[in-house]
Structure 1
Amino acid sequence: MGPRWGAVTRSSSSAANMVGQDPESPRPATSPSGQAAIPEDEISRLVETMMNLEVKVFALEAEMGLNSELEDCRQVIQELAGAFRVSNAPIVAHDAGARLQIPESKAYGGPRDAKEVENFLFDMEQYFLAANVEDEARKVSTATMYLTGDAKLW
């Protein structure tokens, strides 16, 4: 959208000739109706202002186009986010009766055999992983339920 008013910019002599005044005359020109004509510098200023406004309108139109494209992108992102949430949903049903059965660990009675202690600790870690227990305090309280005899006294 370029300037459409290029025909308005004329030299001072042609503007003076248009209103019927001698270009060399120091008096302001008057129109046939008797009103004073607009000075050439005022016309130039108005034309420049109009061209600046046209540039700004062009920039605003371009920005509005970008805003519309941005809104389209936002809609696509929302659609993709919805699809992503659906694809990340657990496959297992959330039914309370559909819980996974985790075999319980064997109780530890307290023999001071390194192999027995190591097996007990390994079994407890596997149990915690399967039961999704992450809190350390809960792990300790659960593990103490599987201690018997002298091991409970420690």
Structure 2
Amino acid sequence: MSRPVTAGIRAQILLNLEKQSESRCRASRRLAAVEEDAMTSQYNMQGAKGKEPAYPKEASLAHDQGDLEETVNWLVADVATHEEALSFATKTFERLKEEMKLMREQMAELVAMNQSLSNLVKILQDKVAGLRASNQKLLRTNSASNSQERSSRVDVQRPMKYSDSRDARAIDNFLFQVDYYMNLQNVVEEDLKIKTVAMLLEGDAMAWWRRKMLDIENGDCTIRTFDDFRKQLKGYFMPVDAERHAYQLVANLKQTGALRDYIRAYQKVMLDVPMMPEKDKLHWFIIGLQSWAQADVERSNPKTLEQAYVATERLADTQRKSYTDTFKSTKQSDHDCKREEW
């Protein structure tokens, strides 16, 4: 828009200057004509002394005065026109200066904006490159993770389903297997854990869960986590006297054979009494040993059940080695006796 406007203003200024030049030329010609007329009149007056003038004196003076006034009036009007044109040119020049100043400011703003956009584009390009690199790395990681997860899930066997057994050990084993299975399958959401264990129920256990779901919908029961499910299942199917019965088994368990057989039997019973204090577990284990083994284990002064297991295992190894050495010695003695007989 600035170029057409500037060109138009320039054309207008040139036109005004041409008009001014033409007006000056006309004024010059008129002045020359007036001067010529004045000189002619003066010549006629001087050359006609004593004679009749070629023209009447009054008429000539009036004619010259009229021409002079007309010329002066025309010059005044022409000067006014020139002043008007000059004023217009001055205003136009000032407007052009303002427009040029505005254009320079706009140009500076555009340059700054262009630089800012260039910097922003570079920053965005760097971010896009970083995101692409991160995305590629994440895709490779997810691909490897998914591949590993798929292979691990193929190898993990689902636990056996639970029906209605009221054996405490069977219930604990089922819940342990389910918990271990979900850890291997990376099941972390509590709602998904509950759905997973519910799919491993059958028979009376599934019927029990259906009733529980109705109770949950009616607001009579709340099961939000796998631990809640575990407590509800054990509370319904676990025998009332299961813990008392397990304590009785612990108290009545005695060593009647090999030490390692006693250790295995005691460890199995311990699964039924997970809440028994450590000192009670240690006490009943030592009490169940035969007197000779009990005295030997007590000399090692175990502080935990695991330490008592280790001391008993060591005693079993010593006993076995002693038996082996005795057997070899007896066999060698019999062999020597036979050689003497020969």
* Global fold match (TM > 0.5): yes
Q: 1:63 to 1:108 in 2, by over 3 A?
A: same
Is 1:83 equivalent to 2:141 in the alignment? Answer: no
2:319 aligned partner:
none
* SS of the residue 2:144 aligns to: coil
2:165 aligned partner:
111
Candidates 132, 141, 151, aligned match of 2:205: 151
Measure the CA separation in 2 of the matches of 1:54 and 1:145: 77
Q: 1:49 to 1:110 in 2, by over 3 A?
A: same
Higher helix proportion = 2
- Gap runs ≥5 in structure 2: 1-78, 209-342
Aligned amino acid, residue 110 of structure 1: D
- Higher relative CO (CA 8 A, sep ≥ 6), structure 1 or 2? 1
Q: How does 1:28-39 map to 2 (within 5 A)?
A: 29=82, 36-37=85-86, 38-39=88-89
Aligned amino acid, residue 124 of structure 1: V
Measure the CA separation in 2 of the matches of 1:74 and 1:58: 24
Output the TM-score relative to the length of structure 2. Answer: 0.29
Q: How does 1:66-77 map to 2 (within 5 A)?
A: 66-77=116-127
Q: 1:93 to 1:149 in 2, by over 3 A?
A: closer
Output the TM-score relative to the length of structure 1. Answer: 0.57
Is 1:44 equivalent to 2:94 in the alignment? Answer: yes
1:27 aligned partner:
80
Aligned amino acid, residue 99 of structure 1: S
Shift of 1:45: 2.2
Measure the CA separation in 2 of the matches of 1:59 and 1:53: 10
Q: 1:82 to 1:137 in 2, by over 3 A?
A: closer
1:60 aligned partner:
110
Aligned amino acid, residue 143 of structure 1: V
**Does the 8 A contact of 2:164 with 2:203 survive in 1?**
yes
Measure the CA separation in 2 of the matches of 1:120 and 1:28: 114
Candidates 122, 130, 151, aligned match of 1:99: 151
Aligned amino acid, residue 27 of structure 1: A
Q: 1:132 to 1:69 in 2, by over 3 A?
A: same
RMSD: 3.7
Instruction: List per-residue Cα deviations over 1:68-100 (Å, max 9, x = no partner).
Output: 11111121111100111122232627659x611
Q: 1:41 to 1:136 in 2, by over 3 A?
A: same
Measure the CA separation in 1 of the matches of 2:176 and 2:81: 105
Q: 1:103 to 1:144 in 2, by over 3 A?
A: same
Q: 1:29 to 1:77 in 2, by over 3 A?
A: same
Measure the CA separation in 1 of the matches of 2:89 and 2:199: 101
Aligned amino acid, residue 86 of structure 1: Q
Measure the CA separation in 2 of the matches of 1:71 and 1:138: 48
Q: 1:43 to 1:145 in 2, by over 3 A?
A: closer
Measure the CA separation in 2 of the matches of 1:124 and 1:107: 10
Larger Rg: 2
Q: 1:118 to 1:95 in 2, by over 3 A?
A: closer
- Gap runs ≥5 in structure 1: 1-25, 31-35
Shift of 1:149: 5.8
Q: 1:128 to 1:94 in 2, by over 3 A?
A: closer
**Does the 8 A contact of 2:156 with 2:181 survive in 1?**
yes
* SS of the residue 1:27 aligns to: helix
Measure the CA separation in 2 of the matches of 1:77 and 1:62: 23
Is 1:124 equivalent to 2:178 in the alignment? Answer: yes
